[in-house]
C-alpha cells in the first residue's frame, strides 16, 4: 500500500484498536499499521466488529484510558 512508507515517520505513541470481526478494516490490516508505526500498541477486541465503541464500549474505553495514562 502506498501509505506504508509514511507509517514509519509517525513518532507519536499510537494505539491501534481493531475488532476481531471487523470486515472493513480486518485484523491483518490493523497488524500492518501497527508494524509500520514504531511506538504503537495493537489491541484486538475479540467480541467486536467495526464499531467497538458501540459493540464493546467497556472494553474499548478501558483500553483508551489505559493508553492515555
**pLDDT value at position 41?**
97
**pLDDT value at position 3?**
57
**pLDDT value at position 4?**
62
pLDDT tens for the 69 residues of the chain, in order: 455 678 989 999 999 999 999 999 999 999 999 999 999 999 999 999 999 999 999 999 999 999 999
**Cβ(50)–Cβ(26) under 8 Å?**
no
Residues 36, 40: Cα–Cα separation, whole Å: 9
pTM, entire model: 0.86
**pLDDT value at position 6?**
87
Residues 67, 41: Cα–Cα separation, whole Å: 9
Amino acid at each position: 500500500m502506498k501509505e506504508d512508507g509514511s507509517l514509519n515517520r509517525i513518532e507519536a505513541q499510537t494505539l491501534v484498536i481493531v475488532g476481531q470481526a471487523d470486515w472493513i478494516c480486518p485484523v491483518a490490516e490493523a497488524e500492518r499499521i501497527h508494524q509500520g508505526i514504531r511506538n504503537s500498541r495493537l489491541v484486538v477486541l475479540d467480541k467486536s466488529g467495526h464499531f467497538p465503541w458501540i459493540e464493546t464500549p467497556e472494553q474499548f474505553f478501558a483500553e483508551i484510558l489505559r493508553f492515555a495514562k
